[in-house]
Amino acid sequence: MTKQVKKRLSRQERYDTLIDATFRCVAQNGLDGTTIRDIADLAGVTFGLIRHYFRNKDELIEATYSTVTADMTRHAHVAAEGAGPDAAEKLSAFVYASLSDPFVTPQYLAFWSNFVGKVLFDPRIRMLHEQGFWRYRQVLTDLVTQTLQEAGQTLDDTALGLAVVKVNAVIDGMWIEACLSVDALQGPDLAQAGVETVATVLGVTLPAHQP
Q: What local confidence, expressed as pLDDT, does residue 188 receive?
A: 87
pLDDT tops 70 at residue 151:
yes
- Whether 62-202 and 10-54 are alike in CATH topology: the answer is no
Q: Domain 62-202 falls in which CATH fold?
A: Tetracycline Repressor; domain 2 (1.10.357)
Taking the domain 10-54, which CATH number applies? 1.10.10.60
Q: Is residue 5 scored above 70 in pLDDT?
A: no
Separation between Cα atoms, residue 139 and residue 155, nearest integer Å = 17
- pLDDT: which is higher, 1 or 77: 77
Q: How confident is the model at residue 182 (pLDDT cuts 50, 70, 90)?
A: low
> Residue range 131-160: average pLDDT?
94
Note the pLDDT tens digit of each residue in 24-45: 999 999 999 999 999 999 999 9
Give the pLDDT of residue 3: 44
**pLDDT tens sequence across 43-79:** 999 888 898 899 999 999 999 999 999 999 999 999 9
**CA proximity to 172, closest of 107, 113, 84:** 113
Q: For all residues of the chain together, what is the average pLDDT?
A: 90
How far is CA 133 from each of CA 37, 139, 167, rounded to the nearest angstrom?
Answer: 30, 10, 14
Specify whether the CB–CB gap between 107 and 48 falls below 8 A: no
- Give me the percent of the chain exceeding a pLDDT of 90: 72
Domains in the chain: boundaries: 10-54, 62-202
152: left (phi over 0), alpha (psi -120 to 50) or beta: left
Report the candidate in 168, 166, 187, 170 with the shortest Cα–Cα distance to residue 178.
187
Instruction: Flag whether pLDDT at 90 surpasses 80.
Output: yes
**pLDDT computed for residue 2 by the predictor:** 45
Write down the pLDDT at residue 10: 83
